[in-house]
Structures are given as C-alpha cells and as structure tokens.
Amino acid sequence: MEIIPAIDIIDGKCVRLTQGDYSQKKVYNERPLEVAAAFEDAGLKRLHLVDLDGAKAGTVRNWKVLETIAGRTGLVIDFGGGIKTAADVDIVFNSGAALATVGSVAVKDAELFVGWLKTYGAARFLLGADVREEKIAIAGWQETTDRWIYDFIREYMEKGIEQVFCTDVSKDGLMQGPSLDLYRDIIAEFPGLHFIASGGVSSMEDLDSLQKIGCSGAIIGKAIYEGRIALDDLTTFGLNYKR
C-alpha cells in the first residue's frame, strides 16, 4: 500500500482543517517546501497537495507552492482545489503536478470533465469522491449533494478513471480511525479500482487495517503533523508496496 502524505495550503502555508471547517484552521509550517522535503527524505514518493484557498474560491490559487515543490523535490504530486476550467488544468500540469485532483467539476459538469479526460488522458486525473453518509460532498466539503458514491465511481470508471480517493468528511481531522466498512464495500464493488483511503488515520494500526482490506494507497495528514505517526515508522512500513 502506497503511503501518501498530505499538505493542505492556505495563504501559502501548510495547515490542517477539522472536518473541512475553515474556521478550525491550524498552521503547522509556513514553508510547505520544508515539509515536502522531509517527506521525501523519509523515502516517501508521492504527495497529495490541496489548495484550500482554491477550493473555496473556485479557481486555482496556490500554484506557486506546487511549482516550488515540484521543481525542488522528486515527489509525484497530485494537486487539487479550485480546478474548474481547462485553464486551471493547464496551470496545474504546467506547474509540475503529475495528476490533477478533481471532485466538484465531476459532479456539477460531467460533460466538461469527460472532455478533460479525452484531452489530457484519464490516467492524469485523480477523482475525489468525498462523502457524508455515502453522499458526495463538494466545494471544499461545504456542500453535500444527492449523488451516491457508488454511482459516482461507476460512472467515471466507465470513462477511464483508474484512481479514486475517498474521504469520509465525518472522520477527517478527528484521528478516530478511518471508515473501514465503507472502504471495504467500495473495494468489493470495484475490484479493479486503484482505491486510496483518506481521513481518520491516527496510527500505524489504522494503516495495517487499510492495507488488509485491500486499499491501494492511504493519505495521511494530521496524524503526521500531530506526532501520532512518525516518518521513521512510515519508512519501515514498506513504502513501495503496491497491490
């Protein structure tokens, strides 16, 4: 299982929110490059970079942070937050992202998103399927839709999407454990999917559990920043394991 650390950006700084609430913001480092470099030094290969300003504003804002990290590390970066137009997609790829993370557009404008899949290739997109009670949440989790997660994933797998990450918003930032039952059901429904779990990871035991149910990857944020999981522990976990 691939370990994917997360860096969330507001005003160019590394922050974390709790359950997507912008009023519950904690700044962990004012220099995201330092954080990314520490991840790379620990042997991690990938980075989940989220532009929270962009998610809120509806347009990419922190592309300079992406450009800096991509230019000065060898991390494979997926970048999301505020990607709403083809111009945003171009900025993200031109700034060094390997994958563009898209959620809201895939819900609100399927025709536009499918056009991107055809133009850039579906392999260059990571579909964000964030949920509250199995219904898709968008716009930085500020809006919950009536789209059932299973229908959402199925629709885009049929269009070529290979990688999906899912965050149970009710678990995010609370460090009370991930939504194992939900993730197990999704993996069972879509056995060919490269499924990445996100939200709630608080310990190495949580990572063991996610690996056992068949997750291809796990995104970790707050547990690292709060010292619940040490980078040395991740190094020994088996960073290059892939299902």
Exposure on the CB side of residue 135, measured as CA atoms within 13 A: 8
Asked if 128 and 103 touch (Cβ cutoff 8 Å), the reply is yes
* pLDDT score for 25: 85
Q: Is residue 243 part of a domain?
A: no
Quickly list DSSP for 147-199.
EEHHHHHHHHHTTT--EEEEEBTTTTTT-S---HHHHHHHHHH-TTSEEEEES
Q: Which of 51, 78, 130, 172 is catalytic?
A: 130
Residue ranges in the chain assigned as alpha helix (H): 32-41, 52-57, 63-72, 86-94, 104-108, 110-120, 149-157, 180-189, 204-212, 222-225, 231-238
* pLDDT score for 23: 78
* pLDDT score for 141: 59
The conformational region for residue 131 under phi > 0 = left, psi -120 to 50 = alpha, else beta, is beta
Q: What are phi and psi of 99, to 5 degrees?
A: -135, 145
The total number of structural domains in the chain stands at 1
| CA R_g for the chain | 16
Q: In the annotation, is 41 catalytic?
A: no
Q: Is residue 29 part of a domain?
A: yes
Q: What is the mean pLDDT of the chain?
A: 91
Which pair of structure tokens corresponds to residue 30? 């004012």
Q: Is residue 152 part of a domain?
A: yes
Q: What are phi and psi of 232, to 5 degrees?
A: -60, -35
The domain of 145 spans 2-238
Q: In the annotation, is 8 catalytic?
A: yes
Separation between Cα atoms, residue 187 and residue 167, nearest integer Å: 14
* pLDDT score for 235: 85
Asked if 200 and 178 touch (Cβ cutoff 8 Å), the reply is yes
Exposure on the CB side of residue 181, measured as CA atoms within 13 A: 3
Q: Which of 8, 51, 78, 168 is catalytic?
A: 8
Domain CATH code at residue 128: 3.20.20.70
Q: Is residue 142 part of a domain?
A: yes
What is the mean pLDDT of each successive set of 10 residues along the chain, which is 243 residues long? 96 85 86 97 96 92 98 98 96 98 93 98 96 81 82 97 91 77 96 94 95 96 93 77 42
* pLDDT score for 1: 93
Burial letters 197-234, b for 16+ CB under 10 A, else e = bbbbbbebebbebbbebbbbbbbbbbbbbeebbeeeeb
* pLDDT score for 78: 98
* pLDDT score for 123: 97
* pLDDT score for 97: 98
